[in-house]
Structure 1
Amino acid sequence: MPLDHHDQVNLLKDILANQQNDCCGSVAECEQLERLVKSLMVNASLDENILPILQEVYQYSQAGAYSSDLDQHILSNQDNLSNWVDQIGQFS
């Protein structure tokens, strides 16, 4: 059963919150973030104000997937992660 956009937004927020709280993550999580963001960005029923946030998350996840030190990448983006979780929470 496919996830609707509310479920996708909540999953996106959960993954970002986990990376923020744990200060670590996996390449698979980064790839999942990319897939979620791509799916959300083509959803016409999504609030367009979330699109810039999604673009930032996409760039973050791509950089993380190809990072030689993913944990450091996550650590250096703690402020961004916190902001994204808060902002995305407004749309979920």
Structure 2
Amino acid sequence: MAVATILDANETRFCKAYFSCSAKCDSANNNLTEPFNVIIVQARSKPIISMLNGIRAKLDKSIKESTKWNVHFNGDYGYEIMCGRITYIMDLERMTCSCRL
């Protein structure tokens, strides 16, 4: 249904004149993608296969390191994130974390 609606739409809506010239597609900047872009910045300059292998290696390392952490729901504060003796408390309502990040 959605595809039919788009295909039946007036083509002028998809004309380049209706898009901002300042929009860039080589990087996205928001709270979720900024840390990811920082981590993969070196890999992004490589050919596609090398880039994907570099990103995969970094992702595998992060996954391995993340298995050391435990996340527990805490009804009063949101979540407690623990690794050994280190504990951080996330308050989802206030959007804060005791790690101060």
Larger radius of gyration: 2
- The structure in which a higher percent of residues are helix is 1
Q: TM-score, normalised to structure 1's length?
A: 0.27
- The structure in which a higher percent of residues are strand is 2
Q: TM-score, normalised to structure 2's length?
A: 0.25
Highest RCO, 1 vs 2 (Cα 8 Å, sep ≥ 6): 1
